[in-house]
């Protein structure tokens, strides 16, 4: 009997030892960061709200072609833009055929055929576009990045056409099956009949023939502290040391990662040189990892749009453009606010740049402003075109900080062929 009791006690002691060993190995503070994947970022504290990638993918503008060389433009979050895009999200596109751009008469389609043109700036990978639209690509189309979608009607034809333009330049994919009728397309086009008329300029961008009304506003703001960002970005903030630079910025480092903060501009840059080396780029995974990282390290202080996914000179770069209402906020060298920039390598963030400022919900001031249109706008643009070719034009907000908060001033933003963006002063 005693021997049996001893055996039972021994078994219990062994089991107890195994349980304690398990907790020591897997439940000590900080141990989760070791056993989890590098791409699974841990949230240090509550800061800004989180979002999902689907809410960040949408066109930067929607051009409505009404035939007879009549056009108008809808911008994100406007009534007709939201209505049309929400309907297109539920339509399916299938049986894609690869075509050469040379085979299409784009000028005729633009001027004569009623249709909807969605533009995506530097482009969006098809694998990400699938998250917001019912696209069924083959393996060839799946690997593309799309910067335009053009859905239009042709006279005396019973089905709508849907073209997806590759960022490669001369490659277009046409959907053999599109869940849209000619009547659907025409109904969407008719929303533009009473809107501001726009005219194509130099075959590249559109100019409104009347003034564009916008709201200048001042917003209450606050800023994340350096201590908050340290706790968010370092596994153990207590071991970081501070280095003050001559230009007024401060650097905090744990000997591996670094956090640079410019207090005057309320701007930060986080660097992790231990990021994985370059390999095959999968922009779908890179963008998802970027969204996850921002969710856990600062959050989203407003509305953002995926503006660049490996489409620039740096193929590992992901950029999110901030919007206020319908229009983007321009980042300027003298006031770095309006974008979140990340550089990733196989799902691991190597650099992370953003403003520490975030908006509060209260507006302290509002004032209506009119941006010039028509001949007055053309005269302003003529002075710029001598410096560099203008490739795009859009309304935007220029941010400045003052004692009352964040002032957002309406401006025309002019994108140049060189890649730079100029502000058009009235």
CATH number (domain holding residue 320): 3.30.310.160
Same domain, 181 and 237: no
Q: Which tokens hold the place of 177?
A: 């099956």
Q: Which of 70, 61, 128, 159 is nearest to 394 (CA)?
A: 61
The answer to whether position 41 is within a domain reads no
The answer to whether position 47 is within a domain reads no
DSSP 276: P
Q: How many CB atoms lie within 10 A of CB 229?
A: 23
CA 96 to chain centre: 26
Q: Which of 311, 342, 360 is a domain's end point?
A: 360
Same domain, 325 and 380: no
Which SS3 state, helix, strand or coil, does residue 333 take?
coil
Q: Which pLDDT value is given to residue 242? A: 80
In whole angstroms, give the CA distance from residue 298 to residue 279.
28
Same domain, 280 and 191: no
Q: Which pLDDT value is given to residue 192? A: 96
Which SS3 state, helix, strand or coil, does residue 389 take?
coil
pLDDT tens-digit profile of 37-95? 334 444 556 688 999 999 999 999 999 999 999 999 999 999 999 999 999 999 999 99
The answer to whether position 25 is within a domain reads no
The answer to whether position 263 is within a domain reads yes
Q: Which tokens hold the place of 68?
A: 């007879």
Q: Which pLDDT value is given to residue 82? A: 97
Q: What is the largest CA-CA distance in the chain?
A: 105
User: Which residues, in sequence order, are CB contacts of 349 under 8 Å at separation 6+?
Assistant: 270, 272, 275, 289, 290, 293, 342, 343
Q: Angle at Cα 412 formed by Cα 408 and Cα 417, nearest 5°? A: 125
The answer to whether position 112 is within a domain reads yes
Q: Which tokens hold the place of 301?
A: 């202080």
Q: Which pLDDT value is given to residue 426? A: 56
Mean residue pLDDT of the chain comes to: 86
Note whether 115 and 192 are within 8 A (CB).
Answer: no
> With the C-alpha atoms ordered 358, 360, 365, 371, is the resulting torsion angle positive or negative?
positive
Same domain, 224 and 175: no
In whole angstroms, give the CA distance from residue 426 to residue 410.
10
Domain count, the chain: 3
Give the H/E segment covering residue 108: helix 106-112
Same domain, 278 and 322: yes
Residue whose tokens read 């410096």: 387
Same domain, 108 and 179: yes
Strand-pair category, 134-135 with 92-100: parallel
Q: Which pLDDT value is given to residue 216? A: 94
Same domain, 200 and 224: no
Note whether 396 and 331 are within 8 A (CB).
Answer: no
Same domain, 59 and 188: yes
Same domain, 354 and 366: no
Give the H/E segment covering residue 103: none
Same domain, 152 and 163: yes
Q: Which of 174, 209, 244 is a domain's end point?
A: 209
Same domain, 330 and 314: yes
Q: Which residues pair with 352 in a beta bridge?
A: 270, 342
Q: Which pLDDT value is given to residue 39? A: 41
- The domain in which residue 171 lies consists of 53-209
Q: Which pLDDT value is given to residue 48? A: 85
Q: Write out residues in the chain with pLDDT < 50, as ranges.
A: 1-6, 8-15, 17-42
Q: Which pLDDT value is given to residue 364? A: 76
Q: Which of 221, 224, 199 is nearest to 71 (CA)?
A: 199
Q: Which of 186, 209, 232 is a domain's end point?
A: 209
The answer to whether position 141 is within a domain reads yes
Q: Which pLDDT value is given to residue 11? A: 42
Rounded (10°) angle between helices 79-89 and 182-190:
160
Which SS3 state, helix, strand or coil, does residue 100 take?
strand
The answer to whether position 13 is within a domain reads no
Same domain, 201 and 343: no
The answer to whether position 34 is within a domain reads no
């Amino acid at each position: 009997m005693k021997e049996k009791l001893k055996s039972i006690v021994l078994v219990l002691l062994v089991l107890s030892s195994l349980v304690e060993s398990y907790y020591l190995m897997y439940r000590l503070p900080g141990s989760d960061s070791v056993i989890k994947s590098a791409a699974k970022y841990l949230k240090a504290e509550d800061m800004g709200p989180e979002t999902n990638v689907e809410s960040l993918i949408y066109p930067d503008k929607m051009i409505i072609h009404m035939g007879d060389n009549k056009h108008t433009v809808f911008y994100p979050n406007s009534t007709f833009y939201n209505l049309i895009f929400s309907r297109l999200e539920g339509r399916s596109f299938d049986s894609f055929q690869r075509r050469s751009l040379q085979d299409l008469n784009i000028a005729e389609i633009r001027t004569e055929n009623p249709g909807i043109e969605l533009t995506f700036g530097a482009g969006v990978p098809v694998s990400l576009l699938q998250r917001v639209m019912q696209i069924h690509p083959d393996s060839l189309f799946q690997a593309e990045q799309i910067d335009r979608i053009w859905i239009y009607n042709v006279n005396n034809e019973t089905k709508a056409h849907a073209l997806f333009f590759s960022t490669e330049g001369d490659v277009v994919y046409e959907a053999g099956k599109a869940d849209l009728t000619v009547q659907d397309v025409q109904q969407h086009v008719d929303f533009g009949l009473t809107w501001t008329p726009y005219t194509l300029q130099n075959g590249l961008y559109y100019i409104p023939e009347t003034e564009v009304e916008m709201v200048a506003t001042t917003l209450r703001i606050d800023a994340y502290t350096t201590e908050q960002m340290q706790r968010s970005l370092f596994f153990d903030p207590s071991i970081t040391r501070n280095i003050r630079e001559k230009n007024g910025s401060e650097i905090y480092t744990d000997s591996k990662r670094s956090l640079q903060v410019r207090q005057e501009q309320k701007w930060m840059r986080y660097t992790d040189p231990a990021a994985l080396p370059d390999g095959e780029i999968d922009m779908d995974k890179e963008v998802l990892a970027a969204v996850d990282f921002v969710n856990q390290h600062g959050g989203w202080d407003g509305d953002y749009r995926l503006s660049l996914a490996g489409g620039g000179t740096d193929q590992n770069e992901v950029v999110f453009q901030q919007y206020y209402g319908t229009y983007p906020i321009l980042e300027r060298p003298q006031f770095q606010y309006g974008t979140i920039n990340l550089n990733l390598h196989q799902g691991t963030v190597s650099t992370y740049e953003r403003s520490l400022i975030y908006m509060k919900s209260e507006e302290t001031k509002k004032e209506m402003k009119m941006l010039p249109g028509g001949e007055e706008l053309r005269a302003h643009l003529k002075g710029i075109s001598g410096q560099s070719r203008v490739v795009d034009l859009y309304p935007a907000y220029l941010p400045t900080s003052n004692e009352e908060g964040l002032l957002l001033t309406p401006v025309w933003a002019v994108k140049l062929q060189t890649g730079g963006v100029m502000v058009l002063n009235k």
